Amino acid sequence: MYRPQNILALPELSVDRYPLVEKLRAFLEEGFSKRIAGLYEAGEFPGEFAKGLGGLGVLEQVLTGDDPVLEGQIFRELERVDSGLRSFVSVQCALAGNAISSYGSSEQKKRWLPGLISGESIGSFALTEPQGGSDPANMLTIVTEKSGKLLLGGHKFWVTNGTLADVMVVWAKFKGKIQGLLVSARAPGVVVKPIENKLSLRVSKSAEVVFQDVEVAESDFLPGASSLGKALACLNRARLGISWGVLGAMEDCIEAAVEFSKSRILFEKPLASFQLTQDKIYQMVRGLSSAQLLAVQLTKLKTAGELQPYQVSLGKQNNVEAALQAARSAREIMGGIGVLAESKVMRHACNLETVKTYEGTSEIHKLVVGMKITGSNAFK
């Protein structure tokens, strides 16, 4: 059967160039692809997943970030199974691990990076607050000095890996400036509450976290993380990963829909032979191919050290919307079967609603690109 994954024959998309990606694909197929619908319905994160990825060397590869194409391929494989699994790795490595390795002291790196790489420790990244994630500068979480102690107080929302985490990278105001610091999830005064009622990204564990006068020390501050820009730089790294990851979800949806349309006989002919169906398939493959080109080009710019945040915004916004559109079309082609858990496409579509919103909503990314093109800042 012709597979739509790489119609443009982009060498960067060929899996056999990367033994680690082949191993990851086998690991996912063996342990997770068949179980994922059940895990999703139960809202369960697979406990053994982190250490399995650590054992393969996947977490180390993403955390060190030394091969952006390989990293993209890893995200693509993970999200082909479920966006929640990819989200786990994005937060563990591209957000929490990356913040520690880019901004941490040598003690902080020694304390946390080996565990994050092996999967023995779990990391999270707490920036968003209940009053609105699109405007993080408006954060209320604060470190204050009282009787010679530094106390962290505040409320974070939507913390991915929140109920699993050992270490949290928390962004708070200190003396009027935004500062990143490391907080142990088990420190006295840290209250982690699971967010249970999500209809999207159900395999990923989300939490709200309240800090009630949590005692911290200056040695918990990430020395290189003393501005909001540093948090945004971590997000930019993860957004490039999302631009690659959603290609996997898209490919999975297209494959499922094409296969279904070839075997579904309606009006005595395969559904695939009708022109309206072929137009839907064409639109999905067109969206996929442009998203692939964007991901590959962004990665080339990154490798050359030339990647700009507005380019990442364009990639994240375009690729997630294209993936969501493909998931919806696949669901449509599959008719009623498309809404069943086993058919995958509805789960991908539900997941992609979150992916469209986190790490900067589509609106925010459009405004970032709009500002670059027009010179007019819509945020002020």
Ligand X SMILES: Cc1cc2nc3c(=O)[nH]c(=O)nc-3n(C[C@H](O)[C@H](O)[C@H](O)COP(=O)(O)OP(=O)(O)OC[C@H]3O[C@@H](n4cnc5c(N)ncnc54)[C@H](O)[C@@H]3O)c2cc1C
Active site residues: 359
Main-chain dihedrals φ then ψ at residue 225, nearest 5 degrees = -115, 60
Which of 98, 101, 128, 351 is in the footprint of ligand X by CB under 6 A?
Answer: 128
Among residues 5, 98, 206, 292, the one that binds ligand X under rule CB under 6 A: 206
Q: Interface with ligand X by CB under 6 A: which range of 252-260, 263-271, 360-368, 369-377?
A: 360-368
Is 242 a binding residue for ligand X by CB under 6 A? The answer is no
How near is the Cβ of 143 to ligand X at its closest, in Å? 17
Q: Tell me if 363 contacts ligand X by CB under 6 A.
A: yes
Q: Does 273 bind ligand X (CB under 6 A)?
A: no
Closest CA to 361 of 208, 132, 118: 132
Q: Which residues in 28-87 contact ligand X (CB under 6 A)? A: none
**Separation CA 151–CA 189 (nearest Å):** 10
Q: How far is the CB of 133 from ligand X (least distance, A)?
A: 2
Residue nearest to ligand X (CB): 133
Place of tokens 């929490």: 96
Supply the Cα-derived Rg of the chain in whole angstroms: 21
Among 159, 165, 214, 234, binds ligand X (CB under 6 A): 159
Distance between CA atoms of residues 326 and 323, nearest Å: 5
Binding segment (CB under 6 A) for ligand X, from list 140-148, 259-267, 278-286, 354-362: 354-362
The contact pattern for ligand X, residues 160-179, with x = CB under 6 A and - = no contact, is x-------------------
d(CA 277, CA 282): 9
Q: How far is CA 169 from the centre of its chain?
A: 16
As a whole number of angstroms, the distance between CA 37 and CA 226 comes to 41
Among 55, 132, 223, 224, binds ligand X (CB under 6 A): 132
Binding mask 81-100 for ligand X (x = CB under 6 A): ----------x---------
Of 37-45, 210-218, 321-329, 352-360, the segment contacting ligand X by CB under 6 A is 352-360
Residue whose C-alpha is closest to residue 236's, from 315, 182, 157, 161? 315
Query: Nearest-CA neighbor of 134 among 205, 232, 238, 208?
Result: 232
329 binds ligand X (CB under 6 A): no
Q: 112 or 125, CB closer to ligand X?
A: 125
Which residue, 66, 114, 131, 123, is CA-closest to 89? 123
**DSSP 3-state helix, strand, coil percentages of the chain (rounded to 5)?**
60, 15, 25
Q: Is there binding between residue 349 and ligand X (CB under 6 A)?
A: no
- Nearer to ligand X among residue 12 and residue 359 (C-beta): 359
Angle between helices 309-333 and 362-374 (to 10 degrees): 140
Tokens of residue 254, six digits:
């297209």
Q: Is 257 in the site for ligand X (CB under 6 A)?
A: no
Contacts to ligand X by CB under 6 A = 91, 125-128, 132-134, 158-160, 201, 206, 354, 357-359, 361, 363-364, 367, 378-379
